[in-house]
Structure 1
């Protein structure tokens, strides 16, 4: 059985955020999960810079890496899962995990990136709590 899949419906059906930004770091695609995770509507996000979700203290490093990737056409992260802080619309800091891929135009020049992002804030907090409990138990057992 052959099925025709509507790309917009697919992007809005998945639980992970899908964000695409152009070579100037302007957001050109923002799915429903991105709105749920980061708190910005699609209308607020589209056309905005990625700084919208990059915490202030990570911006310089992010911007330098992004520019370098656009110039070289290469991301040093490839298919690696990146774990970094991100910023919610309300100003709170999230812990996210994501993969990123380079996008190219017809002349094979880098023209943007696509990222698939998962909110790991609760899981990271649980992990920290468990590690602290283990450390407390081990120090009490000595």
Structure 2
């Protein structure tokens, strides 16, 4: 038996952010988890570019990569989990992990991307602390 699923209900009930941006990086979909993770309401995010969440120091590289993906219709991050910094509305840095999929129009031209994003900030901080502690145990001379 096949059950009908309301796509917008599904997107809003998942714990990970789902963000869709068009070919010009304009945000066209922003779910409830994106609001929880990044601090921007759907109204604040829609119509803005992804610069909203891309830290200043990464913007040029991000914009170049995004443009190339729109030109070629490919991304090297389709099945690879990408781990990068992001920016919260209040200015603090987040550590996020995400996958991205290309969206195409009826002529098979790239028309945007869909990203599924998880906030890994706490896990990354714990991992860094564990690595530091391991390094201190392995090299007692580097302890404060």
TM-score range, shorter chain: over 0.9
What residue is the counterpart of 2:50 in the other structure? 50
Q: Which runs of 5+ in 2 are unaligned?
A: none
1:1-142 residue pairs with structure 2 within 5 A? Answer: 1-140=1-140
Q: Which secondary structure does the structure 1 equivalent of 2:115 belong to?
A: strand
Q: Deviations over 1:17-43 (max 9, x none)?
A: 000000000000000000000000000
Distance 2:89 2:78 in 1: 28
**Offset at residue 78 of structure 1 (A):** 2.2
Q: Which secondary structure does the structure 1 equivalent of 2:15 belong to?
A: coil
Distance 2:116 2:56 in 1: 21
Q: Which runs of 5+ in 1 are unaligned?
A: none
Distance 1:30 1:66 in 2: 18
Where do 4+ consecutive residues of structure 1 move more than 2 Å? none
Q: Deviations over 1:54-97 (max 9, x none)?
A: 00000000000000110111112221000000000000000000
Distance 2:5 2:43 in 1: 24
The number of residues matched between the two structures is 142
| Superposition RMSD in Å | 1.2
Q: Which secondary structure does the structure 2 equivalent of 1:78 belong to?
A: coil
Q: Which secondary structure does the structure 2 equivalent of 1:102 belong to?
A: strand
Distance 1:94 1:126 in 2: 14
